[in-house]
């Protein structure tokens, strides 16, 4: 069962044990004839007595030997010595993703440095490419998991352990009742004991591995095997962005598609998954789309056909009974109190059905509007005309809903939602009365707040309606009205924060709101009000950092505020430096965080360090922009480089002229740079 150091198998001298599992023991060994170190996988003699165990072991060697890919561990030799089967592989110096995840999820100071989402995506891309190569040669891995993905010292991913692989040319060595694979990473079809598996099962397992690498927790936790298999079949994993909002939405969407329950809903090949990961890393639009409520409901129905059929039958029967009851009530003039109760129940059921119908159609329309908005800039003229046709049809639908239920007090939420969509669509089509519809929607939502048992849904929709009104007012240049709307929106979002103080999402939305309000107040010259808004924003960032100490966006936002306020104190600058460095530690690839660090170091008077940080920002952002150049101009001016400083200011002026939407944000910074140059010029003149 075990081999001590110094034991030999044929040409191999065993040095130490690396690890062991159900398919054998892996040793580090020396191939004496070639003088190289290898990983030697051994099937002990006792296990070899089981024909299926020995056949699986040989299939693993055969499968791996048939593959030649930069990310698949190659086989050097296969042999049999004194009743022991073995094969030698390349020795990978590094760690498995399982070890990396365990280190990063460790407690307190034991926690390792977090893998960034982009780095995790790169690893998954390499693994997907390797799996595509295996699939193209008819090899299914069937046990993709963090423990079988190795990261070497150069940062390359290696796919290892084809012990459960299936070859198209050979039979399946599992028996009826066997579940090949590790339960936590099994695809639903594996968990169900399916005998027909294809490449999409490896796609699912790689998606589950990427999920765990991003969230530092498995998609399905627990040690009860049967319960784990049941949840894989029936329960959706938690939304990645609900676990960590810093995970990019596009990457979370890619993982969700890879882990779809039905194979037909997943990426159809490992190459398709690799292509979308490549698009994400290149900052290009991905092919996968987030799944809406309607689609999820349809997919749930497919998985629970019996329950769905029963529910539909119950609904149909309920509708028939309701209709019959209404006829009888009309004929009998509501003779009894029991009949009156039944009528009210039927009315509630009808309204719930109407609400469901509206929610379903509204979700479909909202998904279509999101797709149109995301791709409008790149669409052809014929596509844009088709989009406008869809917008007009959607507008007609919502106008019918609003008119039909306008006087029904029980349908207030539907009417308010329909008016909200009408305002948005009229604004998109540049039609009149968009603002009127949005303001009427806001009035209804405000009234509902006082009458609803649970006012939070109405308050959330009220915030969204205010947000669309802000967008409409901004596009028309009505700054004063926009500020008034933003102030109302801030009050609403603040109340949402207070009702859920431990939830970071309302607080994150509040910070966006307060940042835009401060910018508009600056533009109108209301400096005192702008400073008050920035102070509230700083407080919101601080509270968000308390909830999520590793929230890089919040750390960077508060650091930027502290570093760029006109009355920044030395204490503010020191705190800004600390926060900016925390943001960089979480995501060192973000050039904007280096820019904030440079601004903070400049305010602290460390001009050399500021220049270094700003140059790093420019390097990570393809040469940078005016945010880098203005601070770097001031720093270089302070270091005596007047010509370089002047060139940077001119470069920044040209950039601002080409990006007028940034003009108000950069105005204070540009003025400070001008004052800095003027003051130093006067000082030099006085010295002369």
3-class secondary structure for 22-37?
Answer: CCEEEEEEEECCCCEE
Give me the pLDDT at residue 177, please: 40
Closest CA to 517 of 563, 457, 473, 549: 473
Q: What is the DSSP string of 335-398?
A: -SHHHHHHHHHHHHHHHHHHHHHHHHHHHHHHHHHHHHHHHGGG--HHHHHHHHHHHHHHHHHH
Closest CA to 52 of 163, 193, 187: 163
Please report which residue ranges of 288-332 form alpha helices under DSSP H.
Answer: 293-303, 305-332
Residue identified by tokens 């037909």 is 264
Q: What is the mean pLDDT of residues 365-379?
A: 58
Distance between CA atoms of 200 and 464, rounded to whole angstroms? 39
Are 612 and 619 in contact by the 8 Å Cβ rule? The answer is no
For 164-173, give one letter per residue: b (16+ CB within 10 A) or e. bbbbeeeeeb
Give me the pLDDT at residue 383, please: 60
Q: What is the mean pLDDT of the chain?
A: 80
Residue identified by tokens 């009458």 is 451
Report the first-to-last Cα separation within the chain, whole angstroms: 89
Residues contacting residue 432 through CB under 8 Å, at least 6 positions apart: 426
pLDDT digits (tens, 9 = 90+) for 32-90: 999 999 999 998 766 666 777 788 788 778 888 888 899 999 989 888 888 888 999 99
Closest CA to 556 of 564, 536, 672: 564
Distance between CA atoms of 545 and 504, rounded to whole angstroms? 9
CA 196, 199, 200: angle at the middle one, nearest 5? 85
Dihedral (C-alpha) 237, 255, 500, 352: value to the nearest 10 degrees? -60
How many angstroms separate the Cα of 38 from the Cα of each of 54, 70, 154, 495?
21, 17, 18, 63
Are 685 and 677 in contact by the 8 Å Cβ rule? The answer is no
Give me the pLDDT at residue 170, please: 45
pLDDT digits (tens, 9 = 90+) for 236-276: 999 999 899 899 999 999 999 999 999 999 999 999 999 99
Cβ atoms within 10 A of the Cβ of 572, count? 20
Helix (H) or strand (E) holding 88: strand 84-90
Are 40 and 10 in contact by the 8 Å Cβ rule? The answer is no
Are 141 and 201 in contact by the 8 Å Cβ rule? The answer is no
Tell me the percentage of the chain whose pLDDT exceeds 90: 28
* 3-state secondary structure at position 42: strand
Q: What is the pTM of this model?
A: 0.46
R_g (Cα) of the chain, nearest Å: 32
Flag whether pLDDT at 639 surpasses 60. yes
Give me the pLDDT at residue 217, please: 92
Are 140 and 206 in contact by the 8 Å Cβ rule? The answer is no
């Amino acid at each position: 069962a075990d081999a001590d150091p110094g034991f030999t198998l044929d040409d191999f001298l065993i040095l130490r044990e690396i690890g062991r599992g159900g398919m054998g023991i892996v040793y580090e060994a020396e191939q004496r004839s070639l003088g190289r170190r290898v990983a030697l996988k051994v099937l002990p003699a006792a296990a070899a007595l089981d024909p299926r165990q020995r056949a699986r072991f040989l299939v693993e060697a055969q499968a791996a030997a048939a593959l030649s890919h930069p990310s698949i561990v190659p086989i050097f030799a296969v042999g049999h010595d004194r009743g022991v089967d073995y094969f030698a592989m390349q020795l990978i110096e590094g760690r498995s993703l399982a070890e990396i995840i365990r280190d990063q999820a460790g407690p307190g100071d034991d926690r390792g440095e977090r893998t960034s989402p982009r780095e995790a995506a790169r690893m998954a891309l390499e693994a997907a490419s390797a799996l595509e190569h295996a699939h193209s040669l008819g090899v299914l891995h069937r046990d993709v998991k963090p423990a079988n993905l190795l990261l070497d010292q150069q940062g390359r991913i290696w796919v290892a352990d084809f012990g459960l692989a299936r070859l198209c040319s050979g039979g399946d060595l599992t028996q009826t009742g066997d579940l090949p694979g590790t339960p936590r990473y099994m695809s639903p079809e594996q968990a169900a004991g399916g005998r027909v598996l294809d490449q999409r099962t490896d796609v699912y397992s790689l998606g589950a591995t990427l999920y765990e690498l991003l969230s530092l927790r498995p998609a399905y936790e627990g040690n009860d095997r049967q319960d784990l298999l049941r949840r894989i079949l029936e329960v959706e994993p938690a939304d990645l962005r609900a676990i960590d909002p810093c995970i990019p939405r596009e990457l979370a969407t890619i993982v969700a598609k890879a882990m779809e329950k039905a194979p037909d809903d997943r990426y159809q090949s490992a190459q398709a998954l690799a292509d979308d990961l490549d698009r994400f890393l290149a900052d290009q639009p991905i092919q996968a789309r987030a799944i809406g409520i309607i689609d999820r409901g349809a997919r749930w129905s497919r998985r629970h056909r019996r329950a769905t059929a029963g529910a539909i039958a119950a609904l149909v029967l309920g509708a028939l009974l309701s209709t019959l009851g209404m006829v009888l009530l009309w004929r009998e003039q509501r003779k009894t109190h029991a009949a009156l109760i039944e009528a009210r129940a039927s009315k509630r059921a009808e309204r719930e059905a109407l609400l469901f119908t509206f929610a379903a159609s509204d979700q479909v329309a909202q998904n279509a509007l999101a797709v149109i908005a995301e791709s409008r800039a790149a669409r052809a003229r014929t596509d844009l005309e088709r989009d406008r046709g869809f917008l007009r049809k959607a507008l007609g639908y919502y106008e019918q809903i609003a008119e039909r239920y306008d006087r029904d007090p029980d349908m207030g939420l539907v009417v308010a939602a329909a008016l909200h969509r009408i305002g948005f669509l009229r604004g998109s089509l540049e039609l009149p009365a968009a603002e009127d519809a949005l303001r009427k929607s806001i009035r209804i939502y405000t009234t509902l707040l006082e009458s609803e048992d649970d006012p939070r849904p109405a308050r959330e929709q009220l915030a969204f309606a205010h947000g669309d009104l802000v967008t409409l007012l901004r596009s028309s240049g009505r700054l004063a009205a926009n500020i008034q709307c933003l102030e109302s929106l801030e009050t609403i979002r603040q109340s949402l924060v207070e009702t859920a103080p431990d939830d970071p999402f309302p607080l994150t939305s509040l910070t966006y709101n307060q940042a835009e309000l401060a910018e508009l107040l600056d533009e109108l010259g209301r400096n005192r009000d702008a400073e008050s808004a920035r102070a509230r924003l700083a407080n919101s960032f601080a509270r968000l950092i308390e909830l999520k100490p590793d929230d890089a966006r919040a750390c960077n936002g508060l650091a930027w505020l502290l570093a760029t306020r006109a009355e920044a104190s030395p204490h503010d600058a020191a705190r800004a430096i600390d926060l900016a460095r925390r943001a960089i530690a979480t995501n060192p690839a973000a050039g904007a965080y280096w820019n904030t660090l440079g601004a903070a170091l400049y305010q602290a008077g460390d001009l050399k360090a500021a220049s270094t940080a700003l140059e790093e920002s420019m390097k990570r952002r393809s040469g940078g922009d005016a945010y880098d150049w203005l601070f770097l101009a001031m720093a270089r001016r302070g270091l005596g480089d007047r010509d370089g400083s002047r060139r940077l200011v001119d470069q920044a002026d040209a950039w601002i002229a080409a990006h007028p939407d940034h003009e108000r944000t950069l105005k204070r910074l540009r003025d400070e740079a001008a004052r800095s140059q003027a003051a130093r010029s006067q000082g030099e003149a006085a010295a002369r």
